[in-house]
Amino acid sequence: MNTPALTKLEMAIYLDHNATTPCDPRVVRAMLPYFGEVFANPANGLHPLGRQAARAVEAAREQVAALIGASAGEIVFTSGATESNHLAILGAAAYAPPSRRKVITCAVEHKAVLLPFKRLEAQGFAVTLLPVDADGRVLLAELERHLDERTFLVSIQAANNETGVLQPVREVAALAHQVGALCHTDAAQAVGKIPCDVEAWGIDLLSMSAHKLYGPKGIGALYVRGGARALPLRPLLEGGGQEAGVRAGTLNVPAIVGFGEACRICREELGAERARIQALRDRFERGLLAALPSARINAQGAPRLPNTSSLTVPGIEADALLLNLPEVMMGVGAACASGAVEPSHVLLAMGLSRKDAYATIRASLGRFNTEAEIDRAIVLIAERVLALRRGG
């Protein structure tokens, strides 16, 4: 029997894992029974199928909690990290006392954090946007300077989606707690790529998303220290009272099961996977810098995610490079804003010029990338950059 030839799309090298990851086949297998055989609503405990679905949800809740060092009762399922960020920020701020109407975040946060803060500002909160250094790390001295007894919430990401830079979350939380403020972190890019421990970090609220760690899209979670009844949150959605009353709606059982399985796999394989992917990322960077000596890696000396490389390549426009490079799938700036005309707010906050920001690509490697793919990507990128430079 003849084996069908691979299409160009199937042969393409996927280096955009910070935008989304492929669903691990083991995750897909775990989900399948809950689309058909065990399809019941887990809220209905009066019949066996409902109870079976409910047990699957709670088993997945345990798996998600275990990955971040939490207890199952501290996990609230949401549709993803964007909803988790909104629930954490807006839901907590709804209970801010009149004496604490000050909130703090930083300039390189994802828009899913910055926009809820804008909403709080419209509601009368004083919003402080902290600067970052040239590596994109928050300045702790600036945070300490702005913290006072009026501060209600500090939200600083665990890892940046564009550069991979890690923030000092533990230190941020400790400073926030010194003045009695809550601390939230958007950990969508960190969970599953590096060890994340809510107890060690001392964090109060943490957002995560399944599709960033080889799970399905449309499901995420918010960690709430002590559980949703211990740290009150005003629901964004109201209805049937699911998820301890803070997130109404019939639970997406197949996706929750997939999320749990993805977390189980990450917990078991994180050490070896992290080392392998970092070696691939370093190989990718060395090869490109050798082929394109004028290129530079943003925040190369800072602590970074093991899979992420932000490269500025003078003499090209990143979107033109990607359009002329269908064999390698990467990102330009933030994946969620890739269609925007304006350059990345993250790169500008780090001090890059608009011209350099437009010349920056992001490669984010993942579980299924190979050395052969990385070596081929280096050759293809370098060839296409040189061709674009020759063509102006």
Catalytic residues: 336
Locus of tokens 């199937």:
10
* DSSP SS3 for 300: coil
Quick check: 212 and 81 in contact, CB under 8 A? yes
CB atoms within 10 A of CB 54: 18
Question: Is 336 exposed, middle or buried, given 0-12, 13-18 or 19+ CB atoms closer than 10 A?
Answer: middle
Q: How many CA atoms lie within 13 A of 384 on its CB side?
A: 19
CA angle (84, 88, 90) in 5-degree steps = 110
**Closest of 22, 6, 66 to residue 368, by C-alpha:** 22
For 93-99, the CB contacts below 8 A with 24+ separation are 93/120, 93/123, 93/125, 93/152, 93/153, 94/233, 94/234, 95/232, 95/233, 95/234, 96/125, 96/152, 96/153, 97/152, 99/149, 99/150
Distance from the Cα of residue 190 to its chain's centroid: 6
Identify the H or E element spanning 17: none
Q: What is the DSSP string of 211-253?
A: GGTTS-TT-EEEEETT-TTTS----SS-SS-TGGGTS-S---H
**Closest of 302, 284, 303 to residue 361, by C-alpha:** 284
* DSSP SS3 for 336: helix
Six-digit token string for 261: 């399985």
Q: Round to whole Å and give the CA distance between 288 and 299.
A: 16
Locus of tokens 């939230």:
184
**Residue 275, amino acid:** A
**Closest of 9, 7, 15 to residue 370, by C-alpha:** 15
Six-digit token string for 1: 């029997």
